[in-house]
Amino acid sequence: MTRADFNAPLVVRQQYLSMLFHKVPSAGTWTLLDQGKVSTPASKADEKSYNRIGDKNTLKVGGQVSTDVTLHVYLDSNLDEVARMLGYIRPGGGWLGSEDISLDPTLTSDLKLENYSGTTVGAALLFTEYIYGFRPMNFSIPEDADGDVRIAELSGSCASYYIMPTAGL
C-alpha cells in the first residue's frame, strides 16, 4: 500500500497581532486594553465513562462545556486596566482615593481579542475571540526583586467562549 499525499503544503505563521478589548456587560462600547500581555481561554467538556460487564472497552461521552480564562496584564501607574479587569471603572476625573479595588467574583465583564494578519495599522482582521461573562476567581500581583515590570494575573471562568472568523477568508 502506498502512502497518501498531504492535501496542501505545511504553512506556519508567526504570532498574530492580537488586541484585547474589555466591556462591562451593560455598556455598548468596547475599550482597548493597552496593557494586556497574555490571554489563555481553555475550554473543556465534562466527561462521563460507561462500562459494561465483560467488556474491556469504555465509552466516553462529552457533556457540559466549561471555559477557564487566565489573563496577564501589565500593571499601569493609575491601575486603570487592572481595576477594569476586576470590574471597577475609573471615574472620568480620576480615582477618589477611597475605592477598594479587590477581587469580587460577582462582578462580570466581557472580553474580545481581535487577531490581525500583521502588525501594521492596515493589517486585516482574521478572526475575533469572544469571552462573555468573565468572572475572575483568582487575582495576584507578584512582586519580583529581579523583575523590571509588575504583571497582574487574573484567572476565572466565563459563560461562553467562541471564535468568529472574518467573512470571506
Residue pLDDT, tens place only, 47-101: 999 999 999 999 999 999 999 999 999 887 878 889 988 888 888 888 999 989 9
Cβ–Cβ under 8 Å, residues 67 and 42: yes
119: confidence class by pLDDT, cuts 50, 70, 90:
confident
Cβ–Cβ under 8 Å, residues 82 and 75: yes
Q: What is the DSSP letter of 105?
A: T
Q: What is the DSSP letter of 7?
A: S
Residue pLDDT, tens place only, 77-86: 878 889 988 8
Which residues on neighbouring strands pair with residue 110, listed in sequence order?
23
3-state SS assignment for residue 116: strand
Q: pTM score, two decimals? A: 0.82
Q: What does the pLDDT read at residue 7?
A: 84
Distance, in Å, from the CA atom of 30 to the CA atom of 21, rounded to the nearest integer, reads 6
Distance, in Å, from the CA atom of 87 to the CA atom of 18, rounded to the nearest integer, reads 22
Cβ–Cβ under 8 Å, residues 120 and 104: no
16: confidence class by pLDDT, cuts 50, 70, 90:
confident
